[in-house]
Structure 1
Amino acid sequence: MRHIKFIFRTLLVLSIFTFSCSSDDGNGNDIPGKDADKTALEASIETADDLIENTNEGTSEGDYQVGSKAELEVTLNLAKTVYENPSATQSQVDNTVTQLDDAIEVYKSKIIKPINPEALVAHWMFDEGQGDIINDETGNHHGQMKQGAVENGAGKVEWVADRHGEANKALKFADGANVEVPFSTSLNPQNITISMWLKADEIFDGNYMISLNRWNGYKFNLQSTNKLMFTARASHEGENPIYDRDNDSPELLVDEWYHAAVTFGDGNMIFYLNGTMVKEWNDTPGIIDNVEEQYNFIIGQSLPTSVIDAEEEEWGPFNYFKGSMDDIRIYNEILSGTQINSIYEMEK
């Protein structure tokens, strides 16, 4: 949406610059037909042409985000129209330079910077295809399938086809079925990025994908309108606010795979769908607080089955996920939009 608005504004402004008549400002160069100084515009066009010709789109370090060239080319082509127009006034030329330089800076910001390998806390690929042990690619946080809590239906995790249609490469959850990962302080980072693939089977309030003691730590779930929701208990200036935010729009469709990501830190909570930012909240200061009750990390249910069945927690309902998940990643730092897009492009 932001890209569409940017292109629309560029088209509007440059069309006005190219085709409107300006009054004389006293220097004579704003009179159509008078020669305007196009030196700066020529230099900007050369810079943009060089970027288009000598950079690559892709998903690797040093590549540029897929689709970013097309955005730059829109502004570049309009700038060339102004450059080739003998009737262009100095104001039109100067404003075109500004527009093109802005587009160049936007393009440069789309370069994919390396993700610090030390920032990857866990990556559950769900590629085992059988058994009940779920390996973490970092080697630190292996999990085990668990039957759901009795009050949730005591469901069992199933191996199913992933988003590519490959059999037994994703996990299906229902009736509290979950993967339990032993608690570790590394799963309780101060800043966080969560990246995953999901497919909801139905719209369900409290559709928990992952949870570290729910709102007492953090959780990532779908809510009653099938929007992404992230909740975190923060530490900020001696207080412990609980931030509950959703992606605002769009609502996810059932029975469709999505790449979903959220980042939290530096006062912001940002949601991404299929590699594109869909919502940014900038009213969430602080860091994720250390959980007081160190329950195990859960994929597919709000709390460990043993905790729910033993009635150790009175605050229900004890929600769970209804659908399939794959390729869950957790980072202990805030990834950029281009980095998240590169994960999406690589995994889709």
Structure 2
Amino acid sequence: MIFQINRSNTLTSFAIGLATTVVVLSGCSKDDNERDVNSNKAELKRLTDSVNAVYSNAPEGRDVGQYPKQARTELKKAIDMAHTVNTGEYTQQEVNSAFSSLRRAVSAFSQRAIAEVAAENLIAKWLFAGNTLDATPNKHDGILKSGIIGTEKSPVDGGTLPVLTTDRFGQTGNAYEFSNGAYIEVPYTASLNPEVMSISLWVNPKETFGDNYMVSLNRWNGFKFQLQTDNFLFLTMKATTATYDRDSNPGKMTVGQWHHAVVTFGNGAITFYVDGVQSKTESLLGTLAKLTSPINLAIGQQLPKDKFNFTDSSNPNYFYGGSFFKGSLDDIRYYNKVLSADEVGRIYNNEKPD
């Protein structure tokens, strides 16, 4: 949701320099019964100033090259403690200990820079940072659309576009709210129809709705990722072996709350994750089938509205009634690989609120 800045190389080099530093701090010796606070703080002061500069220049955020708020908070605590030692009366042993602690803190901090997860397999990443642009170089930019609602016999255009709303961090204009059939349409390319896939997104359902479509590529003729009864995650996919329907029970979404939802399909299994934790996995054979004809990806709807057929129930695009998302979505990642549990955990930890 935030522009990308990458300073991790500078900070990593700084941490390596600290790791190779040899410091000899000495002070005057006195009787064992007397507390000697005549310590040498020169190296600790230099290190404190350097680390403070690192802290000031390290961007806080949740995107690549940035640092989680908690990581910066922990480093600031270490800096403040070192400053306390620098300005107080402490023994040489205490000064040496503060120096070592601060060096460990900045080394740990340098490892917290956010790196893209499975970047080489990321088809698209819609951050919804005020727009529907794809944050990858692949340029799978979305288009705001009004969508079809109503019943099988009475379809109508909902006449509403997705609107920017507050995200899970309380930032306005950094997520999209969907209602009345509104959706985001992404022009088709063959890369949007991979053999294996993973979808990661943040979801805040407004209500329980049995056909809460989140991401769909030609419905059950390709795949559809939705919420179903009781707000379980639900994936239907047409594979080379069969068409599968699976849900995440017992993992579910709570109405009015943000949750991280992930589904993966391929390598012989379908797996669901809720808030970074695997909720269900089942063995399934095959890979995703290729579409017989191109159709645009829909976020928040079952099909692009110009593809519906309203008269012939034998048509694969026949309209059986409104199936669209009701709530808010954010930070959608679409991969052409099966994410591992570790990779899902890294995405969740990078993107969750502190």
Tell me the amino acid that sits aligned with residue 304 of structure 2: P
Write the distance in 2 (CA, Å) between the matches of 1:218 and 1:206. 14
Aligned residue runs from structure 1 range 18-37, under 5 A: none
- Match of 1:317, SS? coil
Shift of 1:138: 1.3
Q: State the distance in 2 between where 1:194 and 1:175 align.
A: 24
3-state SS, counterpart of residue 225 of structure 1: helix
Give the structure 2 partner of residue 187 of structure 1. 192
Residue in 2 that maps onto 1:44:
none
Match of residue 166 from structure 2: 161
Q: Distance in 2 between matches of 1:144 and 1:180?
A: 5
Counterparts of residues 206-225 of structure 1 (less than 5 Å) = 206-225=211-230
2:121 aligns with one of 114, 119, 141: 119
Map residues 110-149 of structure 1 onto 2, 5 A cutoff.
115-128=117-130, 134-139=132-137, 140-149=139-148
Aligned mates of 2:229, 2:294 — CA distance in 1: 28
Q: Return closer, same or farther for 1:308/1:318 CA change in 2, 3 Å cut-off.
A: farther
Q: Note the residue ranges of structure 1 that are not aligned, 5 or more in a row.
A: 1-58, 61-111
* Greater CA drift, 292-301 or 194-203: 292-301
Asked if structure 1 preserves the Cα contact closer than 8 Å seen for 2:301 and 2:324, the reply is: yes
Q: Contact 2:308 / 2:319 at 8 angstroms: preserved in 1?
A: no
1:232-311 equivalences in 2 (<5 Å): 232-236=237-241, 241-282=242-283, 284-308=284-308
Partners of 2:292 and 2:174 lie apart in 1 by: 35
Alpha carbons 1:147, 1:177 under 8 Å: kept: yes
Given the superposition, is the C-alpha separation of residues 243 and 155 from structure 1 closer, same or farther in structure 2, using an over 3 Å criterion?
Answer: same
Give the Cα–Cα distance (whole angstroms) in 2 for the partners of residues 274 and 216 of structure 1: 29
1:148-181 Cα shifts (integer Å, max 9, x gaps)? 1253633321110000110010000011100000
When residues 118 and 330 of structure 1 are mapped into structure 2, their CA distance, relative to the original with a 3 A threshold, is same
TM-superposed CA distance for 1:318, in Å, is 3.9
Instruction: Return the alpha-carbon distance in structure 2 between the equivalents of residues 170 and 198 of structure 1.
Output: 10
1:203 Cα deviation from its structure 2 partner:
0.4
Contact 2:213–2:325 (CA<8 Å) still a contact in 1? yes
Matches within 5 A, 1:86-97: none
How far apart are residue 316 of structure 1 and its match?
A: 1.6
Specify the code of the residue in structure 1 equivalent to 2:148.
A
Q: Report if aligned partners of 2:215, 2:300 keep a CA contact under 8 Å in 1.
A: yes
Q: Deviations over 1:169-227 (max 9, x none)?
A: 00000111000000111011101010000000000011000100001001100002210
Any residues of structure 2 matched to 1:47-66 within 5 Å, and which? none
Matched with 1:87 is none
Q: Which amino acid aligns with 2:298?
A: I
Structure 2: unaligned runs, 5 residues or longer: 1-62, 65-113, 150-154
Report the equivalent of 1:171.
176
Q: Paired residue for 1:316, among 308, 320, 325?
A: 320
Say if 1:115 and 1:335, in contact at 8 Å, map to a contact too: no
| In structure 2, distance between residues paired with 1:116 and 1:224 | 32
Supply the AA of the counterpart residue of 2:335.
Answer: Y
How many matched pairs?
232
What is the one-letter code of the residue matched to 1:273?
V
Is the CA contact (8 Å cut-off) linking 1:180 and 1:304 kept in structure 2?
yes
Where 1:338 maps in the other structure, the secondary structure is helix
| Greater Cα offset, 312-321 or 217-226 | 312-321
Residues 244 and 332 of structure 1, relative CA distance in 2, 3 Å threshold? same
